[in-house]
Amino acid sequence: MSVLEKVPSQKLMLVALTLLAVYPLAVIAARLELWHFSNSFLLFIVAALASFVILAIGLLKLSKGDKSDTPAILVTIIATLLPLSTLGSFVYKAQKYPFIHDISTDLVHAPQLLAAAKIRLESDHSVEYLAGEVAALQQKGYNLTPLIVTQQPAQVFNAAKALMMDRGWELLASENLQYPFTLEASHTSLLFGFTDDIVLRIQATKEGSHVDMRSMSRVGKSDMGANAKRIQTFLSDLSVGLK
């Protein structure tokens, strides 16, 4: 009897389904703060490596086994491919985007996260903008520019605030009595509950308003493009809404 024949297809399927269950359970554990999210990521990697082995065995059995094993083996393949493809997507994004978590349209004098500084934990990143570390990396990965509009700051402020509320962001602070006008908010991801802090700065110009935006993750070394995408889409939607 070969090694493959010694591995029952039904047991192989149960192992694959168990490994698949690891992913949502790890997410729930991190979301409920039962452990640090890095432990969930480590568990993802271990489960993915085991899934790869199970997938390889399943494919070999499918090519050599009898038809009665086919349903169980197909379930095994699907159960292992789903998490592997998801993890592969994360790895791809981590390689594709700059290894930074603080993005700003002003790379010299970034808008300040004053409200966020008061509520961040000691384990969170400092809100200090480290231009020397992130500016060059941001320029290599993204092409972000301030939003220049002809509308007055008060109109821009009201439109931006409404847009933040529509997005479900938590408003942390606002200033529209003296220049520059500012809006601070936070967004929490659905899956892991990661929170990013956002600040919008509106300065008056002769032609209208100059709008800068900054988005920064509280934890994690890489945001996998999330902060830059947030700035791009928000400023784009704001520009359209002001027309």
pLDDT of residue 1: 45
What's the gap between Cα 4 and its chain centre? 40
- Tell me the CATH class for 102-242: alpha beta
Q: Each residue of 78-88: pLDDT tens digit?
A: 999 988 888 88
Pick from 2, 17, 16: which is nearest to 52 by CA? 16
Residue corresponding to tokens 């929170």: 195
Q: Coil, helix or strand for 36?
A: coil
Does the pLDDT of residue 53 top 80, yes or no?
yes
Type of residue numbered 103:
I
* φ, ψ for residue 181, nearest 5 deg: -70, 145
Eight-state DSSP code of residue 208 = S
Of the two residues 151 and 193, the one the predictor is more confident about is 151
Q: Each residue of 172-208: pLDDT tens digit?
A: 999 999 999 999 999 999 888 899 999 999 999 999 9
Whether the ω angle into residue 180 lies within 30 degrees of 0, i.e. cis, is: yes
Q: Exposure pattern of 13-23 as b/e (b: 16+ CB <10 Å)?
A: bebbeebbebb
* Beta bridge partner(s), residue 175: 182
Mean pLDDT of the chain: 92
Cα angle 122, 93, 124; round to 5 = 5
Hey, what are 217's tokens? 């993750």
The model carries a pTM of 0.85
Pick from 159, 157, 134: which is nearest to 215 by CA? 134
pLDDT of residue 190: 85
Q: What CA–CA distance (Å, rounded) separates 43 from 234?
A: 34
